A and B are shown apart, each in its own frame.
Chain A
Amino acid sequence: MKIDFELNGKPVSVDVPGDRRVVDLLREDLHLTGTKEACGSGECGACTVLVNGESRLSCLMLAAQLEGKSLTTIEGIGQGKDLHLLQKKFVEYGAVQCGFCTPGMILAALRLLRQNPRPTRREIREGISGNLCRCTGYQMIVDAVEAAAEEIGDERA
């Protein structure tokens, strides 16, 4: 099945089975291994991607559903020296340990901040509550998102 969509800002066209899971399309066909799989059933959030800006689980979504959509993965957020503010704060605030939940976590947080630029700590916890992390106990992730929100707020002010 031929599927045209936008991937990290660039148009792409793939020919894959329509029922191929988006996570497999990304990792195996497009070699974007930043999107992780850790449960395969929507319970952990490691495979979170943004579809038209909304967080979705790429293990529960089929390639066919991408037709005409805009897909953002961790690779499209910021690379090398050009990191997104959230990525910088994740580094700075110690939000990363093993890092396997990190890509999904950052995308979930990005979605949250776009929806709610000045979230409370409680709202941050709610915003990332679909993303399991087994290393950090979440606190430094909340710190990082809070710091990013503050800086975004300061820039706007």
Chain B
Amino acid sequence: MKRKTERQPCEAGRSMPRLDAYAKVTGKTRYASDFYAGDMVWAGVKRGGVPHATILSVETEEARAVEGVIAVLTAEDVTGTNRQGVVRKDQPVLADHRIRHRGDPVALVVAESRRALREAVDLIRIQVEPLRAVLDTDAALRDGAISIHEDHPGGNVLLEGTLETGEGEDAFAQCDAVVEAEFQVPMQEHAYLETEAGWSVLEGDGVLKIEASTQTPFRDRSEVAEAIGLPVDRVRVIAPYCGGAFGGKDGVTIQSLLGLAAMRVPGRPVKMWLDREESFLAGVKRHPARLRFRLGAKADGTLHALSADLDYDTGPYDHLGGVVTALGLEHAGGPYRIPNTRVRARSVYTNNPVGGAFRGFGVPQAAAGMEQVIDMLASKLGLSPVTMRLKNVVRRGDRNAIGVAVLSSTGIHECLEVLEGHPLWRDRRAWKDRCPPARKRGVGVACVMQAVGYGPKVPDVANAKIELTPEGAFRVYCGVVDMGQGNITTYLQIAGHVLSQDLTAMEPVLPDTDQTLPSGSASASRTTFTFGKALIRASKLLKRRILERATDLLMEEDPRNLDLVPGEVIHLTSGKRIPLSQIALILNREERFAVARYRAPVSRERPTDREDLRLHGIPHTVFSFGAHLAAVEVDELTGRIAVKKYLVISDCGRLINPRLFEQQVHGGVAQGLGYGLLEDMIVRDGKIMTGDFSTYIIPTALDVPNMVSLAVQMEEKSGPFGLKGAGEVAVDAPLPAVANAVADACGVRITRFPMTPERIMEQLERSGEPAP
């Protein structure tokens, strides 16, 4: 028998190129935005345009009269609940009586061409009675403030949570040194390259098919069905490779609107694709936040007391804002043992753009505060920032800052040890001394952690399905979206490892509510963690079945005498080989499939008895960690900060595909640097003033340094092959690491981010630093 001997089975722990990359480098990949068809129509919306108002009427006659306009819909035409959301379903598909932010969709137009669509949208008139706009969290919390949702018992406070441990704030009296500071961190735009896009068609059998750029096809299906009034089984959502998401497509964007539009033109595909400006206007953002921190330690640097107040501006809807805020609350004390803490976080409704999920999910805000005050405290005590942190970071078995025992793998101490021994830290003084004229150099560090998964109440479940095809290949039914992280490749790698197959013998089926099984969202650093574990189980089931049938076929008694190799089963004692295609022929259809479920572990700890906080995710049990170092050069003439070197040491468990892991680290750091240095979202009167790529500044290739990424690979038993989540933790640290480096370079610390040169210069002047 002729066979190729060079086929190497996939192996967990070994980098392999991404499966999706081949089609992506040739332009062949079909994103949701790439759909065009001859009979296709376009949908688009008229948006509120005012931050807060009561809608008196929506005048659509002129728009309807435009040639090529098929339908103009308003809230009256929505037969479902007209409400979307995950926890509190408070966001209308089409605004009914009230506009709560400038981007609220008020009327939906379906038209034969983009030109007719544009013309019709411009002709729609919304008559409103303005309401006082609530433009920041202080205004929202003030007595007598207008309620953005009159039916919400908490008024403008969407969620408030306080956690206390030990003696709480009373413990500050026992501290030898205390620092306090207030910071403001900005709204951040995801700026995925593919703006919100999708298409939909109402098919002959009455099923509404929606293909969208989304992270959450299964949740979308239920949300859309409920909002527009269809049974869930009449909605099918398909999620192709997505042109970036980072949390911004965690939830419905255009899906319900597409559904409404498609219902008006049965059989014809309807496309919707926001342009960049509309994406800025309508899309969710990282929550801006105000952070008040007070941190105290004993003279030897042992942290003793923490008080933190975090206020998140969630905009007008609970687009996961409560969950984001709860994660910030849980992470407020960072990866440290602090025996006495009081931390409070609030998610506050305003008429600003909608806050939502964004890589890091509330943690970058918390880390921005905590990682700066710990540096300030170290400096006050005359300790090096690394020594200070080494003394206080959690080790496995310790209790963290909210009093929860850390039981899963915990490598932050190891990360810091690697950092301490690295030349970028060890030789920092020499590097700083070699500074060019009119510049100052500094080195800063930050330590962060990021929870993996949904928390104790919401089941973090994945269902994997794998098929041995009649041709003898393996088809992996991927339930979780690949929005660019490469998890689909990792899934095949995982299945390939268990089944001893190479990538040529495997193919993925991308998420599709008709084809793949519900497996939750591509979010929460759980994409590979949870699904990977389910897939290992499914693959093992299928492997056993294949080997058992091969055993029968060979009249062998013990399946242990057989094993899988790429494309074949091998009989170890005789060397005889049976092609998998032959095995596939003798299995019936049901036998060729294996399905398995995994539910991620939850913490048994109860840092709070409030069920709503538990529902919002507190506490988690598995955490990834990172220690970052930034080396910066501050231009004393202009205040510009150049990040010259960047080091990341991560503990994300054992790596399955180190290259893909490193991609996540690099991308997270670049987004974190943008957050800390460049991305200054200016919102005035609820209006985004920096609503395009010429005014909202994200990093180019010349703004990101070469990064060094190292991994401390501590095994996490509950994860696939020892892995933890890796998608988010890297974004948490760059802001504070750079801020600490700037403070090290020139002694100034700004409190309002990002660290624009203007703000740096202002501080340099104020600090009496004479311009040279």
Residues of chain A at the chain B interface (Cβ within 8 Å): 27-28, 31-36, 38-41, 43-44, 46, 73-75, 77-80, 83, 87, 90-92, 94, 96-103, 106, 121, 124-126, 128-142
Query: Given A98-B241, A136-B663, A137-B667: A106 and B698 within 8 A (CB)?
Result: no
Complex contacts, A90 vs chain B, CB 8 Å = 21, 25
CA distance A56 to B190 in the complex (A): 26
CB interface residues, B 622-658, toward A, < 8 Å: none
0/1 interface trace, chain B 687-701, chain A, CB 8 Å (1 if under)? 000001110001111
CA distance A16 to B707 in the complex (A): 47
On whether the beta carbons of A36 and B701 are closer than 8 Å, the reply is no
Identify which of B659, B669, B670, B692 contacts A94 (C-beta below 8 A).
Answer: B659
Name the residue in A40, A131, A132, A139 with the highest tally of chain B Cβ atoms < 10 Å from its Cβ: A139
Which label, helix, strand, loop or mixed, suits the secondary structure of the A interface? loop
On whether the beta carbons of A39 and B706 are closer than 8 Å, the reply is no
Q: Is B431 an interface residue (CB 8 A)?
A: no
On whether the beta carbons of A40 and B276 are closer than 8 Å, the reply is yes
Q: How far is the CB of B731 from chain A (nearest CB, A)?
A: 11
Residues of chain B at the chain A interface (Cβ within 8 Å): 17-18, 20-22, 24-31, 33-34, 36, 190-195, 241-246, 275-276, 483-486, 659-660, 662-663, 666-671, 692-694, 698-702, 704, 706-707
Complex contacts, A128 vs chain B, CB 8 Å = 701
On whether the beta carbons of A33 and B193 are closer than 8 Å, the reply is no
Identify which of B17, B27, B193, B243 contacts A75 (C-beta below 8 A).
Answer: B27
Identify which of A79, A92, A136 contacts B666 (C-beta below 8 A).
Answer: A136
On whether the beta carbons of A91 and B244 are closer than 8 Å, the reply is no
Q: List 30 A-B contacts (CB under 8 A).
A: A28-B36, A32-B27, A33-B30, A34-B26, A44-B193, A74-B26, A75-B27, A80-B26, A83-B22, A96-B25, A97-B663, A98-B241, A98-B242, A98-B243, A98-B484, A99-B241, A101-B193, A102-B25, A103-B25, A106-B25, A124-B701, A129-B702, A132-B191, A132-B693, A135-B244, A136-B667, A138-B666, A138-B670, A138-B699, A138-B700
Complex contacts, B698 vs chain A, CB 8 Å = 132, 134
CA distance A80 to B23 in the complex (A): 8
On whether the beta carbons of A77 and B26 are closer than 8 Å, the reply is yes
CA distance A82 to B188 in the complex (A): 41
On whether the beta carbons of B25 and A87 are closer than 8 Å, the reply is yes
Complex contacts, B33 vs chain A, CB 8 Å = 36
Known: A79-B28, A87-B26, A138-B666. 5 other contacts (CB 8 A): A36-B194, A36-B243, A40-B275, A44-B693, A134-B190
Query: Given A31-B36, A97-B484, A97-B485: A41 and B276 within 8 A (CB)?
Result: yes
CA distance A103 to B26 in the complex (A): 7
Complex contacts, A40 vs chain B, CB 8 Å = 275-276
On whether the beta carbons of A38 and B25 are closer than 8 Å, the reply is no
On whether the beta carbons of B17 and A27 are closer than 8 Å, the reply is no
Identify which of A44, A79, A129, A132 contacts B26 (C-beta below 8 A).
Answer: A79
On whether the beta carbons of B18 and A129 are closer than 8 Å, the reply is no
Query: Given A38-B276, A40-B276, A83-B25: A134 and B701 within 8 A (CB)?
Result: no
Complex contacts, A87 vs chain B, CB 8 Å = 25-26
Q: How far is the CB of A111 from chain B (nearest CB, A)?
A: 14
CA distance A7 to B605 in the complex (A): 64
Complex contacts, B486 vs chain A, CB 8 Å = 97
On whether the beta carbons of B34 and A33 are closer than 8 Å, the reply is yes
